A and B are shown apart, each in its own frame.
Chain A
Amino acid sequence: MGSQKILVIGGGISGLTAAVEAAEVGYDVTLVEQTPYLGGRVTKMHSYFPKLCVPDCGLEINYRRIKMNPKVKIITQAEVENISGRPGDYEATVKVTPRMVNDNCTACGKCVEACPVEIPNEFNYGMDKCKAIYITNGMAFPQKYAINKEACDGCGKCKEVCEYNAIDLDMSEETLTIKAGGVVVATGWTPYEASNLDTLAFGKAPNVIANVMMERLAATDGPTQGKILRPSDSAEPKSIAFVQCAGSRDQNHLPYCSGVCCMGSLKQITYVKEQYPDAQISMFYIDIRAMGYLEDFLVKVQEMENVSLIKGKVAKITEVANGNLKLEVEDIAQGNKISPEVDLVVLATGLVPSKVPGDINYDEYGFVAPDNIGIVGAGCAKKPTDVSNSVMDATGATIKAIQSVVGGGA
């Protein structure tokens, strides 16, 4: 006997979209999310291209749709350990790690003041600190705290100060079995590990940052409250180099094009210029991939003052005096090597798909293959995709999952 439910794996923008789309046409949905909060990577973005709007409004609408819809069941801190079955009849084994904070939590924040354990803040890519009991940001959903189990020393100070009896340090791990007729895999991506790019100084020179870190530096709820400052000395950068294909289109790293990094950097150039109109910006690229109507955005950036888009892949970055960076790159239009020096380097690191173990076919790079039936990839788990296309893709994936429920069970 098959199941009429839909399982959505991953609570980022693709998974959220799939969950509300399926629920709003009447299907029961279980949405499992590995972290304590929904929203995924987009919650860490300062803005989207090409409209340069903040992610908050889109997320807020989706959170509202989910909260209002009793057909969506959300399980956070849930990791799929295995998935098996056939169209119409799937079974997932899901490990749920304890939040140690219950639904009484009002997010008042007294526990944070009391907590003595400081850890690098993963939400801000380690650029600041947070406590072992934390909430990622003001928009976080669910709006309640979570305890980092590895970091917590069990002192109980949070429990002492909590006025709502919301802390339960005895919560334990559990394993669930979830049945579904169709599955949407929306596990998203992680940034390519920039320290693997051993010639580009990431992890050695503090003023070489990854593009995802730039998003946090620009975000008002980020480690610098939205003021873009370079990490080594909190100085305002006067010159910034954007280094494209930092790992992507490179058989030594990610052989595929990560699809969104060109537009990501053009977007970042735009908001950097808003903050620092006189800054000297350079962007080094192999090819600029601005598809369809995004060409207009590229043209706008090309016309900006003090912005040079230079064809040439950066071969090497060395830290020089004052934490500045020297780049080694061929200026291909000129046919000679140049060695510009800048205050800050942003590496446009690519997208690595996140995989789920089980009966799922992946392509050679780890993206969900198109030949799965009943288990459907959506968004960046399927291919490198920007936010608006992820939303459209997730809607399409939902109909495939519904077809699996309807057709597969028959």
Chain B
Amino acid sequence: MSVAPDKETVDILLMQEEDQALFKICYQCGTCTGTCPWNLVRNFSVRTIMHKAQLGLIDFGEEDIWQCATCGACVSRCPRGVEIIDVMRAFRKIIAEMGVAKVPDSLRMSVKNIAALGNPMGEPDDKRGNWMEAAGVKPFTPETEYLYFSCCVPAFDGKIRRMATSLTEILNKAGIDFGALGNAEKCCGESVRKAGSESVFMSLAQSNIEAFAGAKKVIATSPHCYHTFKNEYPELGAEFEVMHYTQLLDQLIQDGKLTFSKEVKAKVIYHDPCYLGRHNDEYEAPRRVLQAIPGVELIEFPDNRQSALCCGGGGGRVWMETPVGERFSELKIEQAIEAGAEVLAVACPYCMLMFDDALLVTDKEDVLKIKDISELVAEAI
């Protein structure tokens, strides 16, 4: 009787991943576990998962496979350069694509919605562009300078829509020639890919690349869309330049195309989105924008930039239920208040969803406001 009865199966399954060797260089030091934010709220040994994978003992049914929020904190500190997120993604892909175990219910629903309707909320795909007219965004044509991609969340979620509408207001005021695709676009596919649904990701990417035809410069509200367009779409044939909206605002301020006429008197704390910061090394553009706003006093979390604590919404976690008391977003709300912040500035729709929710749960709405950077800029112009 073998001590690892599933080893052969696991090896065969993982061999189908081109990155299957990644966890084999792990030397089991535990830096990942020591770094992983889950251990602030519950026990989660990333190293044990890597070890089980090395031994062929991965139990695809275990919940831990779905725990990783892909924040990248462990990857940035790993002394061996193990691409831990890719390893997690490989396990999830085996589950989702080969059916060797069950995808958690809440995540399966969101993936199904994205596959069928192009958005995780399950909203009708012919209503995706409804927000544009009220906000004053024209339809994109190949002659338009910038293509603006709002991300599904602001397009469909009435509460998060403010991210898209305030950016629109700023860009119109700065005289930027931009448009959006409306119903022709679909979810970028970042979270489905992290959830292991590679085939759904591929079809979304291909559909978007076709729909983006003629676009030379794309502005993304979400760092997740930004990351995917910038780092994953080019391999599939995309040829456009992509900017996160904070990078564009930073450039407009530096070029003198965006000027301020009002003060926003507030102590503002900035939350680094993992997919803008650790995944794409952009820490300063959002901070420069905030510091340019008259009256804003920018303060920092104890852990910031490369060490920033995640909101908990990456890797598909935004669509999954996390028990109260285990949410990073609640810890961050506490940290922000302790630091004396009046406004928690975000630059990602997932972060905004997570923090809006945490603010309700912690009942701190009278102490702290959650605002997108574009909202603060719009208030000052």
Contact = CB atoms under 8 A, between A and B. Distances in A.
A313 B29 contact: yes
A330 interface: yes
Contact of B34 (A251, A330, A335): A330
B31 interface: yes
A321 to B, nearest CB: 15
Contacts of A199: 35, 77, 307
B127 interface: no
Given A245-B29, A313-B79, A337-B39, A329 B48 contact: no
B260 interface: no
A336 B81 CA distance: 22
A176 to B, nearest CB: 43
B30 A332 contact: yes
Interface residues of B, number: 20
Interface in A336-388: 336-337
B48 to A, nearest CB: 5
A17 B172 CA distance: 75
Nearest to A250: B79
A363 B306 CA distance: 31
A330 B30 contact: yes
B301 to A, nearest CB: 13
Interface string A285-327: 0100000000000000000000000011111100000000000
Contacts of B45: 330, 335-337
A316 B43 contact: no
Given A336-B43, A337-B39, A249 B30 contact: no
Contact of A337 (B27, B43, B79, B306): B43
Task: Give the most central of B28, B79, B80: most A CB within 10 Å.
Answer: B79
A397 B323 CA distance: 64
Contacts of B35: 199, 315-316, 328
B77 A337 contact: no
B34 A313 contact: yes
B332 interface: no
B80 A313 contact: no
Given A251-B79, A251-B81, A286-B27, A329 B34 contact: yes
Given A336-B43, A336-B45, A312 B79 contact: no
B128 interface: no
A313 B31 CA distance: 6
A313 B81 contact: no
A315 B79 contact: no
B81 A312 contact: no
B33 interface: yes
Nearest to A336: B43
B80 A337 contact: no
Contacts of A314: 34
Task: Give the most central of A199, A253, A315: most B CB within 10 Å.
Answer: A315
A245 B78 CA distance: 13
Nearest to B47: A330
A315 B47 CA distance: 13
B34 A316 contact: yes
Nearest to B74: A315
A230 B191 CA distance: 48
Nearest to B307: A199
Interface in B13-42: 27-31, 33-36, 39
Contacts of B28: 286, 332
B326 to A, nearest CB: 15
Contacts of A328: 34-35, 39
A252 interface: yes
Contacts of B306: 198
Contacts of A249: 27, 79
A252 B79 contact: yes
A249 B27 CA distance: 10
A337 B29 contact: no
Nearest to A339: B39
B46 to A, nearest CB: 8
Given A312-B30, A332-B28, A337-B33, A251 B47 contact: no
A329 B30 contact: yes
B43 A286 contact: no
Nearest to A332: B30
B339 to A, nearest CB: 15
A287 to B, nearest CB: 8
A330 B43 CA distance: 10
Contacts of B39: 328, 337
A252 B29 contact: no
B349 to A, nearest CB: 29
A335 B29 contact: no
B20 to A, nearest CB: 20
Task: Give the most central of B27, B33, B307: most A CB within 10 Å.
Answer: B33
B80 A315 contact: no
A336 B36 CA distance: 12
Contacts of A335: 45, 48
A330 B81 CA distance: 18
A251 B77 CA distance: 9
A234 B30 CA distance: 33
Interface in A218-241: none
A278 B264 CA distance: 57
B81 A332 contact: no
A180 B379 CA distance: 74
Contact of A315 (B31, B43, B48, B81): B31
Contact of B47 (A250, A252, A316, A332): A332
Given A199-B35, A249-B79, A251-B79, 6 more contacts: A198-B306, A313-B29, A328-B34, A332-B28, A336-B43, A337-B33
20 contacts: A199-B307, A245-B29, A251-B80, A286-B29, A312-B29, A313-B31, A315-B34, A316-B34, A316-B35, A328-B35, A329-B34, A330-B30, A330-B47, A332-B28, A332-B47, A335-B45, A336-B33, A336-B43, A337-B34, A337-B43
Counting from the closest, the 10 A-B pairs by CB-CB distance are A315-B34, A330-B30, A250-B79, A330-B33, A313-B29, A337-B39, A286-B29, A312-B30, A315-B35, A328-B34
Interface of B: 27-31, 33-36, 39, 43, 45, 47-48, 77, 79-81, 306-307
